[in-house]
Amino acid sequence: MPARLSVDGTLVTLDEPCPGTAYFAADRAIIALKVNGELKDLATDLTTLDGAEVEPVRIDSPDGLNILRHSATHVLAQAVQQIYPDANLGIGPFIEDGFYYDFGNIDPVTPEMLKELEKRMKRIVKENQRFVRREITEEEARQEEASQPYKLELITTKGHDADGASVEVGHGGLTMYDNVNRHGDVVWTDLCRGPHLPSTKFIGNGFALTRASAAYWKGDQNNDHLQRIYGTAWPSKEELDAYQTRIAEAQRRDHRRLGTELDLFSFPDEIGSGLPVFHPKGGIIRMEMENYSRQRHIEAGYDFVNTPHITKGQLFQTSGHLSWYKDGMFPAMRVDEDQDYYLKPMNCPMHSLIYKARGRSYRDLPLRLFEFGTVYRYEKSGVIHGLTRARGFTQDDAHIYTTREQMREELSSLLTFVLSLLKDYGLNDFYLELSTKDPKKFIGDDDLWEEATRTLEEVALSSGLELVPDPEGAAFYGPKISVQARDAIGRTWQMSTIQLDFNLPERFGLEYTAPDGSRQRPVMIHRALFGSIERFLGVLVEHYAGAFPAWLAPVQVRLVPVAETFNDYCEDIARRLREQHIRAEVDTSDDRFGKKIRNAAKEKIPFTLIAGGDDVDAGAVSFRFRDGEQHNGVAIDEAIAHIVDVVRRRANEPEAEKF
């Protein structure tokens, strides 16, 4: 039966010999094929694919971008071996927005070397070298890669390394990719699964090398020390430029840099990696975030609880966490002679004990328990990233216990509550992700999992938001919905998670008395709204680029006297603002007037009030906003009323802070 080619949704039957490169020669955007869902090189002979359904892969599709980036890694490795012929080649996978390749037996990579490598890559691209696939036996591969120790190891392990990369070997055996020049000579070769672009020319000028770092073979510190070179590749120079602009803006907004510049938080070496301390200004922001969240939770009918930071290990054996997550927990402490204690990595087992502390009736449900609970997780040092990936953090954690009949309505109202509260902090662009059961890591009954997953899916779809599948991404005890939020520059952050759990109530023996007097199991809903206070603050720093809306800003008003003579006038206005619970301060430093104004702007203070002789005579101030817009001669009462109104409205957009 001939292959069937799907072109723009239309199936075309192919009867004559036809490689994809010939069929799609007129459309350079098509760079590979998908045969029955499996990616293949464009040079594949379509008529040899008996009965297969074939789709073209465009370079700007997700699969096409991955192929482009993986092909760029081969060009990078070829350029490296032009400088270091004896370089040992590691792995070279595509990653999000780019690629990297690991090298042994080369000098430490400098910025100058990156520039030289990029020049050589551009020459290779212009040479229009074809990527030619060939199958070889394991013995042949060993002979060809005899001088490459890492490739020899990959041949033995069938291409799987510690980071999960499996880009080196084909499913049915081993494959090599040769780079062939216009004269038909093989100029470079690498062990690789593929597929690749038809030739290097398809890489174009939309690539760049970005940085280098140290690495270890297979990610193991006991293995060889390597040099890892990173790059990015896009279908066009314009897309590369746009990406580099986004990266530059992201760096400008990096919460770690802004946290230092704005004196919000730090990570002292004396305390340890991933354990932040909050300075007074950061503490104010955190307090405001927590206070408003508490207010909203009270209005929504939550009960506040508190639990300790350590517990006997038996609690996590009962919950199942010790079996599944022990490697992510800090080592046990021996507090009693015969009992190990653990720093808690989550709050749910303790909340279940609170539920179990007394008898429950259906009239008590839904029971919504809420805690700002600090937890500790032993994250590897390589993944720690400021506030957004820490070892100690405080979850705004809630566990809701409902009847089966209440479950769907509770989930629906919970999702509405979550989205509403996130919007109050200035995030407005969302989609949802549904994480389903990992067949290798779950507890409980399949039917209950199916019911839980179906219920979450129905609730998610009824919200009207886009729903994206996350296969096998659930925790071991139940499926979840996660709220994904896009920030001011379009990046996606995972925010709130809502998990439906039939299993922990069973493991803890939780019950309630039903209307007919029978004892029934409640359903448990796990919910972290911010995820953690620390992480959410890091996201907000980057979303607002440090220019927090007035209600969250650590200093809301800075008063700047034109001369020392007017200090008392400014202090009196600051006192009146503080009486209205506005965070106001007077700059009485020895700095010149112009520097005081610049300092207020640099510190991203929402409102700067300036007072000189004319202002004192008129009972007024000059009112200056963050963007430099200034209104002179504003009456004190009017200025105070406007500031109080903006703060109490919790306005998040800069224009909403203006007169």
Query: 169 near 191, Cβ under 8 Å?
Result: yes
User: Is residue 238's pLDDT more than 60?
Assistant: yes
Q: What is the dihedral of CA 151, 148, 211, 119, to 10 degrees?
A: -120
Length of the chain: 659
SS3 of 387-415: the string is: CCECCEEEEEEEEEEECHHHHHHHHHHHH
Which of 334 and 135 is assigned the larger pLDDT? Answer: 135
Question: Do 248 and 210 contact (CB within 8 A), yes or no?
Answer: no
The active-site residue out of 351, 377, 437, 604 is 377
Residue 272, Ramachandran bin (φ over 0: left; ψ between -120 and 50: alpha; else beta): left
pLDDT given for residue 22 in this prediction: 65
The pLDDT value given to residue 190 = 94
Residue 599 predicted with pLDDT over 50: yes
Q: What is the pLDDT of residue 420?
A: 95
Active-site residue identified among 396, 397, 487, 615: 397
pLDDT of residue 520: 96
SS3 state at 67: helix
pLDDT of the residue at 163: 38
- Tokens of residue 13, six digits: 């039957």
From the list 130, 286, 344, 526, the catalytic residue is 526
Burial 6-41 (b: 16+ CB within 10 A, else e): eeeeeeeebeeebbbbebbeeeeebbbbbbeeebbb
The pLDDT-based confidence of 162 (bands split at 50, 70, 90) is: very low
- Which is more confidently placed, 586 or 15? 586
pLDDT at 6: 58
Has 377 been annotated as catalytic? yes
**CA-wise closest residue to 431 among 460, 473, 472:** 460
Q: Which of 420, 341, 343, 425 is nearest to 378 (CA)?
A: 343
Feature table: binding site: 348, 399, 526
Selected catalytic residue, list 41, 102, 281, 348: 348
Mean pLDDT (the chain, rounded): 90
Is the bond leading into 195 cis (omega within 30 degrees of zero)?
A: yes
- For the question of residue 470 being annotated catalytic, the response is no
Task: In whole angstroms, give the CA distance from residue 230 to residue 210.
Answer: 6
Q: Which residues contact 503 (CB under 8 A, 6 or more apart)?
A: 320, 443, 444, 448, 477, 478
**Residue 160's pLDDT is what?**
41
Mean pLDDT for 553-574 is: 96
Residue 166 has pLDDT above 50, yes or no: no
Choice between 21 and 430, residue whose per-residue pLDDT is larger:
430
Distance of CA 46 to the CA centre of its chain: 40
Same fold, 3-58 and 301-539: no
Determine whether 129 is an active site residue: no
| pLDDT of residue 143 exceeding 50 | yes
Q: Using alpha carbons only, how large is the chain's radius of gyration in Å? A: 30
At 346, is the pLDDT very low, low, confident or very high (cuts 50, 70, 90)?
Answer: very high
In 10 A of CB 57, how many CB atoms? 23
Q: Which pLDDT score, from 0 to 100, does residue 338 have?
A: 77
Please tell me the class of the 62-249 domain.
Answer: alpha beta
d(CA 332, CA 655): 52
Active site residue 570: no
The active-site residue out of 253, 399, 596, 604 is: 399
Concerning whether 397 is annotated as a catalytic residue, the answer is yes
pLDDT exceeds cutoff 70 at 259: yes
Task: Give the largest CA-CA distance in the chain.
Answer: 95
CATH code of 550-657, in short, is 3.40.50.800
The answer to whether 561 and 586 have CB atoms below 8 angstroms apart is yes
308 pLDDT band (50/70/90 cuts)? very high
Band of residue 165 on the pLDDT scale cut at 50, 70, 90: very low
Position 269 confidence tier, pLDDT thresholds 50, 70, 90: very high
Nearest 5°: the CA angle 376, 396, 412 is 130
CB 606 within 8 A of CB 553: yes
**In this predicted structure, what is the pLDDT of residue 158?**
57
Q: Where are the domains of the chain?
A: 3-58, 62-249, 301-539, 550-657
Percentage of the chain surpassing pLDDT 90?
76
At residue 2, the pLDDT reads: 54
557 near 264, Cβ under 8 Å?
A: no
Least confident of 122-126, 321-325, 332-336, 636-640: 332-336
pLDDT band at 15 (very low <50, low <70, confident <90, very high): low
Asked if residue 643 lies in contact with residue 550, where contact means CB atoms within 8 angstroms, the answer is yes
pLDDT score of 10: 52
Strand partners, 435: 470, 480
Please state, in angstroms and rounded to a whole number, the distance separating the CA atoms of residues 484 and 433.
7
Q: 301-539 sits in which CATH class?
A: alpha beta
Burial state string for 220-247 with b = 16 or more CB within 10 A and e = fewer than 16: eeeebebbbbbbbbbbeeeebeebeeee
Mean pLDDT of 499-525: 93
Q: Which of 391, 437, 480, 527 is catalytic?
A: 480
pLDDT at 333: 85
Assess whether pLDDT exceeds 70 at residue 26: no
- Binding-site residues for Zn(2+), in ranges, read 348, 399, 526
Report the DSSP beta bridge partners of residue 635.
Answer: 620
pLDDT value, residue 169? 41
- Distance from C-alpha of 276 to C-alpha of 493, rounded to nearest angstrom: 20
- How far lies 525's CA from each of 214, 519, 642, in Å? 43, 19, 42
Q: d(Cα 522, Cα 166) in Å, to the nearest integer? A: 44
Strands (DSSP E) along 37-140, which ranges?
A: 38-41, 53-58, 88-89, 94-95, 98-104, 130-136
Q: Exactly one of 78, 227, 395, 520 is catalytic; which is it?
A: 395
What is the per-residue pLDDT for 159? 45
Model pLDDT for residues 450-507, shown as the tens digit of each residue = 888 999 999 999 999 999 999 988 888 788 999 999 999 989 999 999 988 888 999 9
Angle at 404 between CA 401 and CA 407, to 5 degrees: 65
Determine whether 307 is exposed, middle or buried from the number of CB atoms within 10 Å of its CB (0-12, 13-18, 19+).
middle
For 3-58, CATH number out of 3.30.465.10, 3.40.50.300, 1.10.10.10, 3.10.20.30 equals 3.10.20.30
Mean pLDDT is lowest, of 10-14, 74-78, 247-251, 492-496, for 10-14
211-230 pLDDT per residue, tens: 999 999 988 888 999 999 99
- Among residues 397, 350, 405, the alpha carbon closest in space to that of 522 is found at 405
Is the confidence at residue 404, as pLDDT, over 80?
yes
